[in-house]
Amino acid sequence: MSKQKPDNNGRRSTTRHTLIRQWDMLRLVPVEPNMISYQKLCDELRKMDDYRDITANTVRRNMEDIACLEIFPLVIDTTAKPHQCWWSKDFGLGLPVMDLPELLALYMMEQYLKQLLPATLFQTLRGTFSRARNTLDSFKRKNPHARWIDKVRAVPPSQPMAAPAGGNLDAYDLLMKALHDDKQVRVMYCPAHEVAPKEYILHPLGLILRPPSLYLAASAWHYPDVLLYALHRFTQVEILDDKVVAPAGFDLDRQIEQGLADFGERIDPIDIELRVSDWLFHYLKETPLAVRGMPPVSTQKIDEPPEADGRYRVRARVNDTWQLRWWILSQGAGVEVVSPPALRDEIAGQLKTAAAIYP
């Protein structure tokens, strides 16, 4: 009787399937202080087409096999009933080994994101950045290219602002889940300039990072208006069974282009005409005024040579937002609004009020 040869192709296929399943499991494991049970992992995997028949015992065996390797920062609490697992917050996710370009990129991301992300969100990335820094430190002793990190820094071009204090990480997690699942939420939210939170029913539609704060774009109750809600001002969040009802034709990119992220009050951009000083003329030639988009779109035109008083006339289409007003006021005597007349009167009124404070 002839012996049957091993089916190496079949073995490779089984091994590949097991590795993919284990990787999908690891992606579902939360970072400390959050945790997940084997049964919950099983339930989440069953939502995927490839794992509809998976059992909790299979999940348990796979997770314990991975933990025994001791190359992943995976923690399993076998004293809990049911057993719980999580990623250690002192280590990063991702592959156990990263090459030098990846480590350098992560280091630069940390320097930049530290100044942009709210503290509660940045905290979830702490382990990844910590592992990159520690590995780079060891590289610096034997690889001169790693010392590049001592020569490069990321500095935002605006006045530094500290990220909002406080913030409810549980509320943040629930809002992210509701946004992902297209579910309405009942929340307690404290608007700016108020001392007590109020109850809202919100339809989460998008997430916008506007440093140093993170905002939820949402409509409230049955109203079609899409507004921004700062994540650090949510105190309680309850996910409802009702599906989100988006305003007709809602598109997040379109809303941003219309000025949502800059606290716009009008949907359509406006055409402005300015007279600017010589130093601002040179600045605007390099970085023109634009309508927000991806990327920003500029229609700016500057008349040259300058007028008799040395000022340059600038015309551009811009979003009609608070951000526009902040920018104009920040230039002081460097800019004069010529049109539209309503904006000119508004800026003039604010400058007169400001001047009265400094007699």
pLDDT of residue 301: 96
pLDDT of residue 6: 46
Domain locations along the chain = 17-87, 100-150, 169-250, 270-357
Asked if CATH classification 1.10.3470 holds for the domain at 169-250, the reply, yes or no, is no
> Edge-to-edge strands of the sheet including 312-318?
301-302, 312-318, 270-276, 335-339
- Distance CA(25)–CA(91), nearest Å, equals 18
- Distance CA(298)–CA(269), nearest Å, equals 12
**Structure-token match 């999940």, residue found:** 59
Say what the pTM is: 0.57
pLDDT of residue 124: 66
Average pLDDT, 10 consecutive residues per value, the chain (359 residues): 46 62 80 84 83 86 79 79 80 53 75 64 71 70 69 70 70 87 94 89 90 87 92 92 93 82 71 96 94 84 95 94 90 95 96 92
Give me 71's structure tokens: 């190359």
**What CATH number does the domain located at 17-87 have?**
1.10.10
pLDDT of residue 14: 57
Please give the torsion angle defined by the CA atoms of residues 77, 79, 82 and 87, in that order, rounded to the nearest 10 degrees.
-10
Distance of CA 214 to the CA centre of its chain: 7
